[in-house]
Amino acid sequence: MAKVADKPFFPKPFLVFFVLSIIFGFGITLSEAGFPKIRHYKWEVEYMFWSPDCVENIVMGINGQFPGPTIRANAGDMVVVELTNKLHTEGVVIHWHGILQRGTPWADGTASISQCAINPGETFTYRFVVDKAGTYFYHGHLGMQRSAGLYGSLIVDPQEGTSEPFHYDEEINLLLSDWWHQSVHKQEVGLSSKPMRWIGEPQSILINGRGQFDCSIAAKYKNGLKQCELSGKEQCAPFILHVHPKKTYRIRIASTTALASLNFAIGNHKLLVVEADGNYVQPFSTSDIDIYSGESYSVLITTDQNPSENYWVSIGVRARLPKTPPGLTVLNYLPNSVSKLPISPPPETPDWEDFDRSKNFTFRIFAAMGSPKPPVRYNRRLFLLNTQNRINGFMKWAINNVSLALPPTPYLAAMKFRLSTAFNQNPPPETFPIDYDINNPPRNPETATGNGVYKFNMGETVDVILQNANMLNANTSEIHPWHLHGHDFWVLGYGEGKFSAAEDGRKLNLKNPPLRNTVVIFPYGWTAIRFVADNPGVWAFHCHIEPHLHMGMGVIFAEGVHKVGMIPPNAMACGSTAMIKNYPRKP
Amino acid sequence: MAKVADKPFFPKPFLVFFVLSIIFGFGITLSEAGFPKIRHYKWEVEYMFWSPDCVENIVMGINGQFPGPTIRANAGDMVVVELTNKLHTEGVVIHWHGILQRGTPWADGTASISQCAINPGETFTYRFVVDKAGTYFYHGHLGMQRSAGLYGSLIVDPQEGTSEPFHYDEEINLLLSDWWHQSVHKQEVGLSSKPMRWIGEPQSILINGRGQFDCSIAAKYKNGLKQCELSGKEQCAPFILHVHPKKTYRIRIASTTALASLNFAIGNHKLLVVEADGNYVQPFSTSDIDIYSGESYSVLITTDQNPSENYWVSIGVRARLPKTPPGLTVLNYLPNSVSKLPISPPPETPDWEDFDRSKNFTFRIFAAMGSPKPPVRYNRRLFLLNTQNRINGFMKWAINNVSLALPPTPYLAAMKFRLSTAFNQNPPPETFPIDYDINNPPRNPETATGNGVYKFNMGETVDVILQNANMLNANTSEIHPWHLHGHDFWVLGYGEGKFSAAEDGRKLNLKNPPLRNTVVIFPYGWTAIRFVADNPGVWAFHCHIEPHLHMGMGVIFAEGVHKVGMIPPNAMACGSTAMIKNYPRKP
Ligand SMILES: [Cu+2]
Ligand SMILES: [Cu+2]
């Protein structure tokens, strides 16, 4: 019962546009523009036995599938997902990563922020318009349910009758993730324990939910691992990329890892990067891409190599000392047999600590010509210091010395109904002490939890300078991929050390900064982003590394909440919002 | 922060009684009667690493303890438990097993029945009067959270100034449970899978949360197991029963096992049974007791044996082919060293399939003199057939061919506010086909889920004939301990085969039937109980074997719901009750 129906759908803006186009003769016919449709899905979430890396475990599945079903729609369509929670004791929500949720902030799928978690047995209907073509995905956003396997792809094609600004013959969609054998429940307890028990490195890298533990399909080139099967395993056989020679393929690559920063390469094939996070970029050619959790890319490849051979697809770990073998699969030139393994070893993943190489890739990403440009001035600039801290011996991450602890009442309804006791009404600090030494462990590592909100005026232009720093141990600083809900942002620049408004502020790229929804901060560095706070709602901005968010690495943004329309009552049946009187409710 | 305060407390009935006692000179002085008190606790539930049987796992703890803190109160006291859910994704509720909840049906702690589960981060305050002295316990009642370790003891002493009807010098409290190494989440998935994966036999029997896996403190008398330590293990060292010679001890024994039927014996000591499920019984002497999940007993022992020796306490599995070594500990005659192990082997647990022996014990339980007697006539009699079934290949248990599937909206609020779509308004069948062959597998094992309610008139006397039957496999029938919420019931009799109203109905014991809240049905047999439906509320009646209830083995009773007072709003912030309009709610 995955897909229920595709119905024609006429959103108000479309109808206005349609009528205007008739009056003014825009020259757009119905068959060209296509009708926006309703893409209707009925989903049930439940744990099920599954062997993502050939080792049986329980995963969170949707309609018996892992990863969940792929949503496919055209820009302008309305996606409707009736989500029923079939778990026995756990709530659930689903976040539509990269979808802006304009006019539907309650459908953003963030527990404690946009809605109450859906209780066991209950159904919540997500209804939102996908307004921009691109490569997206969805995932759980309660506790560590993303780590438990609650994710899937969301692909938006251009409006019917329009086309992408680049040519390709066919496409292949890859959703990358990392997988642990320890249950997420134990992982959570470990992270919340004193002393903290770290989850360690993943056992396997999954490509479309498929990996291989303790073996390799390229074993003959590797030492230590045994050869694994290319086929025959229903759940963990590798996802093969079947291609025809002499064609151009768009490969969509999204990463929903809990932890791992990945590097993607295809033996003998150059990758032409054309899209990042649902935004077109200035095409550039590269041998491999780095992809951090929360990011997505489209690359074009041309199958112009020796057609009698197959080629490796290799996905390895970067930015952390890898203990996980690369995820491997085969680019299969048809009609070759898949079992004809490539004649040379898989591409080597670049050295994990070669951050210069990582930066070299990242700094090549610019907006495609004709992309929206950022406002030239900001109204407000936040400086957000990322630090590892402790609270009474518990390990935490904090932003400007506040470790985010989400409240039981969702912010969106709490703010709309002015429930002033639902969260701390004082906003958190907008900057950090000027003399903070980012190159050494925090002098006073003790911090505190908080749940205050950064409130923006509707329409103001906000800069955020994400400032990395040393961790608790000397000489350590990690990458963090920061993801913003409800907005794309322009990435104005990156730099080493502490951001200097005088020096660095002048060098920001206002010409062709890429639009993204996720951006990385490098060790000991800063990243500057800009966005317009013009989407009424409450929006998480957080590190996309699941255990980091679990330990408090996030902040809450809000703007124009008074303009937010009718929040569905069952999005607010928890915490203090459950007590709201005189709010129209259906019996 | 377990216990907050004991405050004097004057419930309305007490004040009335107190004033009357002054007016009519009942001869009760304040110091004799004692003031009822408020027993105030603040609890936080969370998973924690723990080694209940010396193997590390995660358990559901309360305030960092496993089992949870013991509640101790006097009859008439009000217990107040402010329960905060510190879990990350799971709801939680706590049921106060054996407490009648007169006037407070919303405090019964049954998810989907008396209340909505408490969401992560939220606090729910349980407030109820414990009106009867006895040995009780509390436990989770959502999903299989009881199996996850969410339980503890609740001991009610007689009103201050009054005393028990038997003498003892000191007391020892034992809460028995069984323990699996597989997570409850995996257990749940297995039970809900097609084909079902059975949880198997427990790895360990726990005495006050302490057991020993893969070793035995009586190893020298057993083959195959290694000797385990008597002390030094903080979490799993055995709970030792320290006694002084020549005294009388009351040993309270409650079983909150997920599955196991247990047998309790102490080497060289006779047990005098005096209490069952919080009701006094005609004292009788026995070498050992059978205790099913959900039951409690008090036994008196006299420490009149050779004072220079210690003695075994042995708790073994009955009614299922045991694969779990007995739980063992030591009755330590002080001042002997605990390490002086008893000179002879531990008492042997009787043969698991010697049901005649089990019946012989069970049939000896009668109400103490002066106990309330049952009404001589019933107004209504339900015949409830217990069968194992399938639904589309999923394994289920059903009562009169209905397998209970709890709805997302709690019944109590749904009935009070007449939310007729919250559950099936047609009551389930009150009997089963007269020609049903209980000695063979069901002819048509296919069944269906249901969530209808058996509704009783306020005050009517209800008989329930629990009828056991053959399971899906030929020649198998299992015991089931049935537990009723909100009421004690009289156990009028047991019998073999199918209950015959004409034959068996005449032989029921109306003279001195014991009052219980849990009663067993034996393989291929029936058990007849009687109760007065005089407690306004909605009450679960179910098999206390956790996986059986999970697979649908329960029914819902209700009476006088229109008389139910103000349900706390946060007990009904889920399902359709979350949508109730115009119900007074605090902002
Ligand atoms: Cu991070
Ligand atoms: Cu049962």
User: If DSSP states are collapsed to H, E and C, what string results for B344-386?
Assistant: CCCCCCCCCCCHHHHHHHHCCCCECCCCCCCCCCCCEEEEEEE
Question: Contact at 8 Å (CB) between B153 and B62?
Answer: no
Do B402 and B516 lie in one domain? The reply is yes
Strands (E), B63-203: 71-74, 78-85, 94-97, 123-129, 134-140, 151-157, 170-179
Residue A513 falls inside a structural domain: yes
A158 alpha carbon to ligand 1 midpoint, in Å? 33
pLDDT of residue B225: 83
Residue B372 falls inside a structural domain: no
First to last CA, chain A: 28
Residue A370 falls inside a structural domain: no
Position A451, amino acid: N
Q: Tell how strand A380-391 and strand B37-50 pair up.
A: unpaired
* pLDDT (average), residues A278-297: 98
CB-nearest partner of A408 from B46, B122, B190: B122
Out of A219-228, A446-455, B550-559, pick the least confident: A219-228
Minimal Cα–Cα distance from B379 to chain A, Å? Answer: 35
Do A191 and A313 lie in one domain? The reply is yes
Task: Give the count of domains, chain A.
Answer: 3
Measure the CA–CA gap between A255 and A469, rounded to whole angstroms: 25
SS3 B72: strand
Residues that place a CB less than 5 A from ion ligand 2: B 480, 543, 545, 548
Q: A195 preceded by cis ω (within 30°)?
A: yes
pLDDT of residue B29: 42
- Name the closest ligand to CA A482: 1
Q: A328 pLDDT band (50/70/90 cuts)?
A: very high
A497 alpha carbon to ligand 1 midpoint, in Å? 18
Rounded to 5 degrees, what angle do the CA atoms B50, A181, A517 make? 110
CB-nearest partner of B578 from A91, A419, A569: A569
Mean pLDDT of residues grouped by 10 in chain B (587 residues)? Answer: 53 48 44 76 98 97 98 98 98 98 98 97 97 97 98 97 96 98 97 96 97 90 81 90 98 98 98 98 98 98 98 96 94 96 94 96 97 97 98 97 96 94 96 96 96 98 98 97 98 97 94 98 98 98 98 98 91 81 42
Q: A578 pLDDT band (50/70/90 cuts)?
A: confident
CA distances (Å), origin B396, targets B423, B449, B577: 20, 9, 28
B436 alpha carbon to ligand 2 midpoint, in Å? 20
Range of the domain at B393: 380-579
Question: Contact at 8 Å (CB) between B562 and A557?
Answer: no
Question: Contact at 8 Å (CB) between B254 and B315?
Answer: no
pLDDT of residue A21: 45
CB pairs A-B closer than 8 Å? 139
Question: Contact at 8 Å (CB) between B528 and B499?
Answer: yes
Q: What is the ipTM of this complex?
A: 0.91
| End residue of a domain, out of B362, B393, B426 | B362
Scan for tokens 């049952």, then name that residue.
B374
Q: What is the CATH number of the domain that holds A456?
A: 2.60.40.420
Contacts of A583 (CB under 8 A, 6+ apart): A417, A569
A587–B581: do the CB atoms touch at under 8 Å? yes
- Name the closest ligand to CA B320: 2
A91–B120: do the CB atoms touch at under 8 Å? yes
Q: A125 pLDDT band (50/70/90 cuts)?
A: very high
pLDDT in tens, A25-53: 444 444 445 689 999 999 999 999 999 99
Do B127 and B10 lie in one domain? The reply is yes
Sheet holding A151-157, edge to edge: A71-74, A151-157, A134-140, A94-97
| pLDDT at A545 exceeding the cut of 90 | yes
* pLDDT (average), residues A5-23: 50
Residue B144 falls inside a structural domain: yes
Neighbours of B497 (CB within 10 A): 13
CA distances (Å), origin A395, targets A186, A550, A552, B121: 16, 11, 10, 19
Do B421 and B526 lie in one domain? The reply is yes
User: What does the block give as tokens for B577?
Assistant: 């009750």
Residues of B in contact with A143 (CB under 8 A): 88-89, 120
| End residue of a domain, out of A137, A163, A189 | A163
Do B196 and B153 lie in one domain? The reply is no
Measure the CA–CA gap between A538 and A112, rounded to whole angstroms: 10
Measure the CA–CA gap between A14 and B40, rounded to whole angstroms: 60
Measure the CA–CA gap between B409 and A89, rounded to whole angstroms: 14
Q: DSSP letter for A64, please.
A: T
Neighbours of B232 (CB within 10 A): 7
pLDDT of residue A163: 93
Do A342 and A491 lie in one domain? The reply is no
Tally the C-alpha atoms within 13 A of residue B499's C-alpha that lie toward its C-beta. Answer: 29
Mean pLDDT of chain A: 93
- Name the closest ligand to CA B397: 2
Do B401 and B325 lie in one domain? The reply is no
* H or E element that contains A549: helix A546-550
Do B156 and B179 lie in one domain? The reply is no
Among A401, A488, A395, which residue's Cα sits nearest to residue A448? Answer: A401
Residue A227 falls inside a structural domain: yes
* pLDDT (average), residues A60-71: 98
Residue A394, burial from CB neighbour count under 10 angstroms (0-12, 13-18, 19+): middle
Nearest CA in chain B to A89: B90
Nearest CA in chain A to B90: A90
| pLDDT at A581 exceeding the cut of 70 | no
| End residue of a domain, out of B101, B129, B163 | B163
Do A489 and A451 lie in one domain? The reply is yes
pLDDT of residue A19: 47
Question: Contact at 8 Å (CB) between A109 and A141?
Answer: yes
Residues of B in contact with A122 (CB under 8 A): 408, 574-575
Residue A367 falls inside a structural domain: no
SS3 B8: strand
Do A416 and A289 lie in one domain? The reply is no
Do B108 and B180 lie in one domain? The reply is no
pLDDT of residue B108: 98
Q: DSSP letter for A367, please.
A: B
Position A454, amino acid: Y
Residue A326 falls inside a structural domain: yes
B89–A121: do the CB atoms touch at under 8 Å? no
SS3 A15: helix
Higher pLDDT, A73 or A228: A73
Residue A375 falls inside a structural domain: no
Do B204 and B158 lie in one domain? The reply is no
- Strand-pair partners of B384: B466
pLDDT of residue B23: 46
Q: A573 pLDDT band (50/70/90 cuts)?
A: confident
pLDDT in tens, A379-402: 999 999 999 999 999 999 999 999
Minimal Cα–Cα distance from B566 to chain A, Å? Answer: 14
